[in-house]
């Protein structure tokens, strides 16, 4: 038996049991390399459809395809050993009905090896959440600002600024939680509403642009590392890797132009010839 003990991966019931306990740490990852970095620190890794924008340069998440999500999901699962890996179901892969949602969710799980899927929508998606959960597919819900519905919202707008909207958002969160979601992402929701929802639902809430009172937090990795050119108000940059990388690339370019790289230590020489 190998001396190296394989880490036990966090499960959906583990996350569910964290309601009201130690805050859940979640981050996005889209690659093997970043998954390796995130894995030892995060409880949950989300392969978000935000990869359409961050990795592929698209204007919104709507361009993410099932094939994209599976490709990146495979890489993240290979690069992680401990964190729960959740893969977003992209726009158009689950809205048409529960049967289609199940086929696509099952394909994502089977081909990536992830432990759960995430889908957006509240009351209108409760039946789908229940259908998937009853068939062994753990689901994370996502309410409030749902980027796949950005066209309907008229842009990335904070939800709940008007008190009249609170009841609808509260119903959405309650509906997906009661339908079987083991956690619910609250995005772009005003703080007092996020606090109220967190107190009301029986499953953990994971905030992004919501409240510190949520049961956990998630950010896009590239945003919090300072790799994105601009970030929303709710993001705190915990690093400035963009500037560090730019300086390193500039130093490399200068070394190449000056022929100081590669140096003697960076090149290979033929084996010495043995002469009598």
CA 220 from centre of chain: 7
CB burial class (10 A; 0-12, 13-18, 19+) of residue 257? exposed
Residues 6+ apart with CB under 8 A from 239: 224, 225, 226
Domain-located, residue 23: yes
CB burial class (10 A; 0-12, 13-18, 19+) of residue 90? buried
Alpha-helical (H) ranges within 6-55 are: 12-16, 32-39, 51-54
**123 assigned to active site:** no
Binding region for Mg(2+): 49, 88, 120
Domain-located, residue 249: no
pTM: 0.92
- The CATH number covering residue 120 comes to 3.20.20.60
CB burial class (10 A; 0-12, 13-18, 19+) of residue 162? exposed
Domain-located, residue 21: yes
Domain count of the fold of the chain? 1
In the set 187, 222, 254, 265, the catalytic residue is: 187
How far is residue 153 from each of residues 37, 149, 213, measured CA to CA in Å? 35, 6, 25
Binding region: 49-50, 88, 118, 120
Which pLDDT tens digits describe the chain residue by residue (276 residues)?
A: 333 446 799 999 999 999 999 999 999 999 999 999 999 999 999 999 999 999 999 999 999 999 999 999 999 999 999 999 999 999 999 999 999 999 999 999 999 999 999 999 999 999 999 999 999 999 999 999 887 766 555 556 777 689 999 999 999 999 999 999 999 999 999 999 999 999 999 999 999 999 999 999 999 999 999 999 888 889 999 999 999 999 999 999 999 999 999 999 999 999 988 766
Domain-located, residue 257: no
Domain-located, residue 141: yes
Q: How far apart are CA 99 and CA 77, in angstroms?
A: 26
Binding region for 3-methyl-2-oxobutanoate: 49-50, 88, 118
Domain-located, residue 245: no
């Amino acid at each position: 038996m190998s001396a190296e003990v394989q880490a036990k991966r966090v499960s959906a019931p583990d996350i569910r049991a964290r309601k009201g306990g130690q805050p859940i740490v979640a981050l996005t990852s889209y690659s093997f390399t970043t998954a390796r970095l995130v894995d030892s620190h995060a409880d949950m890794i989300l392969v978000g459809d935000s990869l359409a924008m961050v990795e592929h340069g698209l204007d919104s998440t709507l361009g993410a395809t099932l094939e994209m999500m599976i490709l990146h999901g495979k890489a993240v699962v290979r690069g992680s050993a401990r964190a729960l890996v959740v893969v977003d179901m992209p726009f158009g892969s689950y809205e048409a009905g529960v049967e289609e949602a199940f086929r696509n969710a099952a394909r994502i799980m089977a081909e990536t090896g992830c432990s759960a899927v995430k889908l957006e929508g509240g009351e209108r998606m409760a039946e789908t959440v229940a259908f998937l959960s009853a068939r062994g597919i753990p689901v994370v819900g996502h309410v409030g600002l749902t980027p796949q519905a950005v066209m309907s919202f008229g842009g990335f707008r904070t939800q709940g600024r008007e008190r009249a909207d609170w009841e609808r958002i509260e119903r959405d969160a309650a509906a997906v939680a009661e339908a079987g979601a083991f956690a619910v992402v609250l995005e772009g929701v005003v703080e007092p509403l996020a606090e109220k929802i967190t107190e009301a639902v029986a499953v953990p809430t994971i905030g992004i642009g919501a409240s510190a009172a949520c049961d956990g937090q998630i950010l896009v990795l590239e945003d919090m590392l300072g790799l994105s050119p601009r970030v929303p108000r709710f993001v705190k940059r915990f690093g400035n890797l963009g500037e560090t990388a730019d300086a390193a690339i500039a130093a490399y370019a200068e070394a190449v132009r000056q022929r100081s790289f590669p140096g003697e230590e960076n090149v290979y020489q033929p084996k010495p010839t043995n002469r009598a």
